[in-house]
Structure formats: structure tokens, C-alpha cells
């Protein structure tokens, strides 16, 4: 009967050790997931910067084309038609930059939500490990109780 108590103790010990290993593994997975989210977020921010620079460059080109065409066509560069064309290009640039900024803000929210999800999964996994240990202890309680009734505990 002492063998049963040893087996129960080894079983509980293995459950505890398994829970510790599981928690460490989950912690490492959470850190890796957060690093991946950070890298994706950085890539997203770089893309947003590229979009903004492209919008500014395109606007400068459009403004230069407008002014060049006006001078070639004999139109005064200070005319309201030229100024309207320049304003139109600037307005479009502003809309593109606003859209890029809004997209970045939404992306940042998604990246943070993914980080939060990874942390929540880690906590859940630890809870599952603790529950499993508790189940093992409870399952071993009955045989150990019977051993104690027989005078071995």
C-alpha cells in the first residue's frame, strides 16, 4: 500500500512540474507574440510614412505641373485658376495623409488588442495548469484517504 502513496506523490509532483513547465512555455510564447506584434506594428508605421511621403511628393509634382503648364500656356502664375489647381492638389494630399494616419491609429489598436490577447491566453493557460494540479490532488485524495484508514498515513 505504501507503493500507492509513492505513486500518488510522484503523480502530484509530475503535475506540479508540468504546470511550471507549461507556465514557462506560455510566458515565452507570449513574449514572442508581443515581439512579433511590435515588428508588424513597426512595419505598418514605416508603410504609413511611405504613403505620406508619396502623397507629399505627388502633390509637389502636381503643383509644379500646374504652374509649368500655366506658364507655358501664358497664364499668370498668380491667377486664381492656378491657385485653385494648387489648392486642389494640396487638399488631396491632406486627405491622403489623414487616411494614412487613421489607418495607422486603427492598426495600433489591432496590434495592442493582439498583445492583450496573448497575455490573456497566458493567464488562461496558467489557470488551466493550476486546475489540472488541483484535479490531480483531488483524484489522489481518495486513495490516500483509504491508506490512512488502513493505518498507513
pLDDT given for residue 79 in this prediction: 83
Q: pLDDT for 33-92, tens place per residue?
A: 888 889 989 999 999 999 999 999 999 998 888 888 888 888 887 888 888 888 888 999
**59, exposed or middle or buried, with CB in 10 Å at 0-12, 13-18, 19+?**
buried
Q: Give the pTM.
A: 0.64
Residue 149 has pLDDT above 80, yes or no: no
pLDDT for res 21:
80
Task: Look up the domain containing 103 and give its range.
Answer: 2-149
In this prediction, residue 100 has a pLDDT band, given cuts at 50, 70 and 90, of: very high
Question: Residue 118: which of 34, 62, 11 has the closest Cα?
Answer: 34
pLDDT tens-place string over residues 116-139: 988 888 888 778 877 877 777 777
What is the number of structural domains in the chain? 1
Amino acid at each position: 500500500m505504501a507503493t500507492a502513496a509513492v505513486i500518488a506523490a510522484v503523480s502530484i509532483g509530475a503535475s506540479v512540474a508540468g504546470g511550471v513547465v507549461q507556465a514557462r512555455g506560455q510566458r515565452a510564447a507570449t513574449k514572442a507574440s508581443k515581439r512579433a506584434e511590435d515588428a508588424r506594428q513597426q512595419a505598418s508605421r514605416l508603410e504609413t510614412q511611405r504613403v505620406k511621403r508619396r502623397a507629399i511628393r505627388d502633390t509637389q509634382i502636381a503643383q509644379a505641373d500646374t504652374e509649368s503648364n500655366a506658364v507655358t500656356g501664358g497664364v499668370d502664375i498668380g491667377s486664381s485658376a492656378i491657385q485653385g489647381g494648387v489648392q486642389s492638389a494640396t487638399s488631396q494630399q491632406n486627405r491622403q495623409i489623414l487616411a494614412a494616419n487613421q489607418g495607422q491609429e486603427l492598426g495600433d489598436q489591432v496590434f495592442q488588442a493582439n498583445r492583450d490577447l496573448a497575455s490573456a491566453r497566458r493567464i488562461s493557460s496558467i489557470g488551466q495548469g493550476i486546475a489540472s494540479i488541483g484535479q490531480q490532488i483531488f483524484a489522489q485524495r481518495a486513495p490516500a484517504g483509504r491508506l490512512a484508514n488502513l493505518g498507513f498515513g
